[in-house]
Amino acid sequence: MLALLLSALLTLTDEYVGVQSAPVVAPVSDTSAMMYLSQFGWLDPSARKPGSAALLDIRNAVKDFQSFAGLNQTGELDDETLQLMNMPRCGVRDKIGHDARRKKRYALQGSRWKVRDLSYRITKYPRGLKTADVDREISQAFQIWENVANISFHRVDTVGSKVHIEIRFEKGEHGDGDAFDGEGGTLAHAYFPVYGGDAHFDEEEKWTIESYRGTNLFQVAAHEFGHSLGLSHSDVRSSLMAPFYRGYHPSFKLDSDDTNAIQALYGKRIKSVPVTTTKRPIIGAGNFPKKETPSTPTDKSKLCDDPKIDAIAHMADGFTYVFKGSDFYRLTENGVADGYPKKIRTMFGTLEDNLDAAFTWTNDRTYFFKGNKYWRFTDMTMDTGYPKDISDGFEGIPANIDTAFVWSGNGKIYFFKGDKYWRFDPSRRPPVSSGYPKPISNWEGVPNNLDAALRYSNGHTYFFRANKYWRFNDRNFAVDTTDPPFPRNTAQWWFGCGGGASSMKNVPDDYQGDKSDDAAHARPASPQQDTQL
């Protein structure tokens, strides 16, 4: 068997390496099982290794797939594993990048739409279903995402007009290199926003509506549109974004894993999103908080003249805010939103000026720090009993910190001050281990004496000092090497100062030029890296 596995691995070709790939081959043998693992990202067929190393890779790939699928991690192609491989499923890869052991349950591919109202068109309908019925099911599939996230959809029927998401029912080879395989196997595939967002369905499937027979169109479409919005496959069995089709569920609803994932990209649903084809803020959208004063013309001269900031945070309303002196600014894809700056006290009550740091925890509560005090906000409102002493709520963390953030690599809170940093884990006692503080030089390329830091929704951590910012790659555990290089000018790239091609709208997608790994930047680092911090 081992010889067969090795032979299968060495005969695989690069056609199985893309974001999408060739049709699923029903894995009735060891060889086709290896092809399946390669096709869906669990094996790297381009890695040529000697016998023992290759066999170890195969065993680890099988274990990773079994872990992802909730099976016993035997490392062997047992009956249970082969049976799951034979299930109808989505054609999108399960593992994108080099690390399957993510800390979050849900997975974000790493790209998302810059607009909040997306258009779609069904350019080719399936046979056997009425057009009106297909329109209704597709609309309802989009609606389940719209119900929980700050995003909306509308259908465009005008032939030739541009839309964000094109939907087609095709069979076999249909022009994108991702041929369908007939009934069973691959049901559909969709492309992430960075690749256009289109969704294709296998015409040869028996698509049905509200029936236990055939394949339920609504459920499969809702899954594929998750990919179109930027979600990868989930390892949560009950999640819509799990890759395997498990049959029709008449009482279907999104799992909390799906809701958390889509809200991580687009924010929580805020009452209504106006229907428009104009661009929206990439950070979020929605109604202004009640405490805000009437809008005034934007004056970002303070930020442009001196882009040094006190703190930055992505808050529960889905927007990113910058704090500087007694002012705060809301950011949009073009820089600073209209009507800003505003005074901190107009929206944040007794929160003090000249902050030291801010971060938003996983429960959407935002924490602000200054001196030896900290404040906590829930839904943009200060909680009672604050401020409190840092020593009370964050034992082991010093006063007068430089910055704080939640790192996507392990979900823990990091505090930086001078040339040192502390890791804070609320689930442990004491929350700061005895090995801290440690030197900031452990974070390769990150400077000392920072002003602010932010874990952005694309999975990167951004560090700010004076008029520059650095983007940290959690997978490589170092500041990214790109063109243009880091550090970059904060005023130009984040605040929209100085004109030119660069502006805030490029920041969330500034990793897309790194073609070596389409989505690994959005995936948390390996748990093994935790020991290095």
Q: Integer distance in angstroms from the first to the last C-alpha of the chain?
A: 41
**31 has pLDDT over 80:** no
* pLDDT of res. 251: 85
67 or 380, which is more confident? 67
Mean pLDDT of 286-307: 56
Amino acid, res. 187: L
- Measured CA to CA, the distance from residue 477 to residue 92 in angstroms comes to 27
- Measured CA to CA, the distance from residue 165 to residue 34 in angstroms comes to 33
**270 has pLDDT over 50:** yes
By mean pLDDT, which of 74-88, 391-405, 510-524 is the weakest? 510-524
For the chain, which residues make up each domain, given as ranges? Answer: 2-85, 117-266, 301-532
Amino acid, res. 167: I
% residues pLDDT > 70 (the chain): 77
**533 has pLDDT over 60:** no
459 or 128, which is more confident? 128
Other beta carbons within 10 angstroms of residue 384's beta carbon come to: 6
* pLDDT of res. 201: 97
Query: Minimal CA–CA distance to 196: which of 512, 483, 499?
Result: 512
Query: Which two three-digit tokens encode residue 423?
Result: 């890791």
By mean pLDDT, which of 120-129, 218-227, 316-325, 436-445 is the weakest? 316-325
| Helix (H), strand (E) at residue 136 | helix 131-146
Q: What are the pLDDT digits (tens) for 133-147?
A: 999 999 999 999 999
Q: What are the pLDDT digits (tens) for 93-105?
A: 887 544 444 434 4
Length of the chain: 533
* pLDDT of res. 59: 87
With contact defined as beta carbons under 8 Å apart, do 357 and 346 qualify?
Answer: no
**70 has pLDDT over 90:** no
Task: Check if CATH label 3.40.50.10860 holds for domain 117-266.
Answer: no
* pLDDT of res. 112: 84
- Which neighbouring-strand residues pair with 244? 89
**393 has pLDDT over 90:** yes
423 or 333, which is more confident? 423
User: What superfamily in CATH does domain 301-532 come from?
Assistant: Hemopexin-like domain (2.110.10.10)
Catalytic annotation present for 224: yes
Mean pLDDT of 436-451: 95
Mean pLDDT taken over the chain:
79
Choosing from 170, 204, 224, 333, the catalytic residue is 224
* pLDDT of res. 28: 47
CB-based contacts of 293-298 (< 8 A; 24+ apart in sequence): 293/342, 293/346, 294/339, 295/338, 295/339, 296/339, 297/338, 297/339, 298/336, 298/337, 298/338, 298/339, 298/340
**27 has pLDDT over 80:** no
**49 has pLDDT over 60:** no
pTM: 0.49
* pLDDT of res. 309: 96
Q: What are the pLDDT digits (tens) for 341-374?
A: 999 998 898 999 999 999 998 788 999 999 999 9
**282 has pLDDT over 60:** no
With contact defined as beta carbons under 8 Å apart, do 75 and 62 qualify?
Answer: yes
Banded pLDDT at 111 (limits 50, 70, 90) = confident
Q: What are the pLDDT digits (tens) for 487-528?
A: 999 998 898 887 543 444 445 444 333 322 332 223 223 222
| Helix (H), strand (E) at residue 438 | strand 438-439
The DSSP code for 390 is: H
**306 has pLDDT over 60:** yes
- Which neighbouring-strand residues pair with 478? 444, 473
The DSSP code for 363 is: T
HSE of 482 in the Cβ direction (CA atoms, 13 Å)? 20
With contact defined as beta carbons under 8 Å apart, do 29 and 106 qualify?
Answer: no
